[in-house]
Amino acid sequence: MTADKSSDTTGVAKYGVVGVTQEGENPAIVKVETTEVAGRIVSVDPQKRCITFEDPQGKKRTLKLSKKINNLDQFKPGENLNMAVTDETTIEVVT
């Protein structure tokens, strides 16, 4: 997950990729999905590593942030935020 402050509050965009192994290798599928979210920060809880924000449609969402994001003190309620959340799923057949 990456996060930064921004003046852009366009909403949510989603995209992904699916890959399949080449012939002769163990069968596997990898799916990577990234969701880009923009909104206004409602609250930040550094101890729980959570941020609550309101999207452009007014829906409040709370996300637990990665330990890789080490600058939570820079995010303040009322500021705009852009985030990219990436999920990866791998399925492999082991013989």
User: Which amino acid is it at 91?
Assistant: I
User: For 25-60, how does the pLDDT look when each residue is reduced to its tens digit (9 = 90+)?
Assistant: 777 888 888 888 889 999 999 889 999 999 888 999
CA distance 27 to 7: 44
Q: Which residue did the predictor score with more confidence, 24 or 78?
A: 78
User: For 61-85, how does the pLDDT look when each residue is reduced to its tens digit (9 = 90+)?
Assistant: 998 888 888 888 888 999 998 888 7
Contact 73, 46 (CB under 8 A): yes
Q: Tell me the residue range of the domain where 12 lies.
A: 2-92
**If we measure between CA atoms, which residue out of 79, 90, 19 comes closest to residue 43?**
79
**Per-residue confidence at 12, pLDDT binned at 50, 70, 90?**
low
Residue 8 has pLDDT above 80, yes or no: no
- pLDDT at position 1, please? 44
**Per-residue confidence at 15, pLDDT binned at 50, 70, 90?**
low
Model pTM score: 0.60
Number of domains in the chain: 1
